[in-house]
Structure 1
Amino acid sequence: MIIDAHVHAGEYYRHYSAAFAQQMTATTVMRPEELSAPETKLMAEMDSAGVDRVFLIAFDVRRVEGFSVPNEFVAELCARHPERLTGFVSVDAGTPGAAARLRHAITGLGLRGLKTAPCYLHMSPADRRWYDVYETALELGIPVLMHTGYTPSRNADARFFSPLLVEQVAKDFPDLTVILAHLGTPWTRPCVDLLARHPNLYADLSIFGSYQSPTTVAEALSHARDSGVLDRLLWGTDFPFASMTGSVARMAELTRDPGLWPPGHDPLTPQEYRALMGGTAAQLITPTAFSPTHPPNR
């Protein structure tokens, strides 16, 4: 099974603002209008790339950016494709009632993970306003996917880009499963080292795996393998910011071409590839995610 662990829901003309889309695509070959993932486009991309399931993400940045991709919108898509879409709620701890909104989205809407966007919301991931949200996520037994690393959004606060800000969260919530998005790009080595210090931390390769050179990706995977955390990395794309089809092909290269790897390092083994491309992600959403047959952990 191939699982894309980082996919955005939302449509340019319904959700994202024109200014945000322009900023996020300014350094790419994409047009702002292409920052859109309507249902038909998403399912077609999954089929073309051979992707079996995705983690589909809501995005609540209304307080700062003036827009959101609502939890309800994501839940509706997931309800139509339960065998292929796993929804992640998004909440803003800078607004009252965030923990209650998270609980409702999991227990009422059927979503199965949480996405946070600290730098977009001008908050550290270790800001104490997040802590009742984390406690609720821990109680519900769901993973928390946190944005870490750079973003071209001009409204984002660069003080909160570094993945090292998550270290205090890992210490305070050692049983909370946290996924650091984008491998903390450009702080990829410190991100891997952070995973090595905290066994509850994972990271996805979205954007990093799609846009960095294969040799750069192989170097990061080599460091993760040497650090004993390769089995805690998840493949992801950040679609529609990156192509699933292109990224799958790039990852397959890393199983075949030893010339991409640093001296003394072998390509991905079949077992490593299967874990990276979906095996690890599957373990994070079953069986602990809330459902009628799997009640929340207490």
Structure 2
Amino acid sequence: MIVDAHVHAGEYYRHYSARFAEQMTASTELAPEDLSAPEAKLLAEMDAAGVDRVFLLAFDVQRVEGFSVPNEFVAELCARHPDRLTGFASVDAGVPGAAGRLREAVTGLGLRGLKTAPCYLRMSPADRRWYEVYETARDLGIPVLMHTGYTPSRNADARFFSPLLVEQVARDFPDLTVILAHLGTPWTRPCVDLLARHANLHADLSIFGSYQPPATVARALAHARDSGVLDRLLWGTDFPFASMTGSVTRMADLARDPGLWPHGSDPLSPREYEALMGGTAARLLPLAAPHATPTPPSTRRLEVP
């Protein structure tokens, strides 16, 4: 079982703005038009890479960026492919009623996690406006995937890039499952140390595992193993920002090449590799649970927080 724990839904022009796509792809070999994951492209990429399931993310940055990938859109995709797609809602705590929208996305649309974008929304993840959202996620028993680390979006606020801002959230919500996206790149070592201090924290390797030199990734994984948190890391790509096929190949090579690993550290064992590539994700969100069929918006009763 291979699970990509960080995949974006949405299509260029239909959802993402041209300006945002240009900024996000400027330092890559991708064209802005490549920032698109239509249904057929997503499923074909999964098949080519041997990926069994993905965590598919909505993305609510309407207030700052002027666009969103709606929860309803993600829910419809997941309902068509319940055996392959697990949907995450997205809400903006800077807009009143965010906790109610999250509850509706889970109980009404069948989404099974929450994706937040604090720096894109120019808010700290520890901003108290998020706390009702976190309380709702905790009560619903869903994980919260938080963007941490750098982003090339010019509207994002760099004051809120650091993964260490999540420490207060981990203290205040010790029973909330949190996944730190991108291993906090470039603050990967502090991110691993943060996981070691808080048992409810996890992290995904999206972007970091796909673009950093393999030896750099191996050093981070070795540090995670030495810190006792390797079993709380999840492989992910950030597709369509990165290729699933390329990342799977990189991880397989890294797992078996001792020359990439720091002196005194062994490559990943089969058990460690299986956990990283899907086992930990399956533990956080049991993958056999069925996806709800979305209720038509006209008949859906909205919850008011």
TM-score in same-fold range (> 0.5): yes
Q: Look up the SS of the partner of 2:282 in the other structure.
A: helix
Over 3 Å counting, the alpha-carbon distance change for 1:148 and 1:289 in structure 2 is farther
Q: Tell me the matched-pair count.
A: 292
Letter in 1 for 2:98: A
**2:239 counterpart residue number:** 239
Paired letter, 2:5: A
The superposition leaves residues 111-168 of structure 1 with CA deviations (integer Å, 9 ceiling, x where unpaired) of: 0000000000000000000000000000000000000000000000000000000000
Question: Does residue 215 of structure 2 align to residue 215 of structure 1?
Answer: yes
Superposition pairs for residues 159-170 of structure 1, below 5 Å? 159-170=159-170
Q: Write the mapping of 1:67-216 to structure 2, written as runs, cut at 5 A.
A: 67-216=67-216
- Which secondary structure does the structure 2 equivalent of 1:30 belong to? coil
**Distance in 2 separating the partners of 1:186 and 1:64:** 24
- Code of the aligned partner of 1:83: D
Per the normalisation by structure 1, the TM-score is: 0.96
What is the SS of the residue equivalent to 1:156? coil
Q: In the TM superposition, what is the alpha-carbon distance from 1:287 to its structure 2 partner?
A: 8.2
Q: 1:95-115 CA deviation, whole Å, 9 max, x = no partner?
A: 000000000000000000000
Instruction: Find the aligned partners of 1:257 and 1:139 in 2 and give their Cα distance.
Output: 43
Q: Is 1:142–1:289's contact at 8 Å kept on the other side of the alignment?
A: no
Of all paired residues, the percent bearing the same amino acid is: 84
Query: 2:3 matched to which residue of 1?
Result: 3
CA 1:288 to 1:139, structure 2 compared with 1: closer, same or farther past 3 Å?
farther
Displacement, 1:286?
2.4
| Cα offset, 1:289, TM superposition | 8.1
Specify the code of the residue in structure 2 equivalent to 1:74: V
5+ residue gaps in structure 1? 293-298
Amino acid paired to 1:257: D
Give the structure 1 partner of residue 275 of structure 2.
275
Q: CA RMSD in A?
A: 1.3
Q: 2: CA distance between counterparts of 1:218 and 1:118?
A: 28
Unaligned runs of 5+ in 2: 293-305
**Structure 2-normalised TM-score?**
0.94
Partner letter of residue 68 of structure 1? S
- Structure 1: how far apart are the matches of 2:281 and 2:134? 20
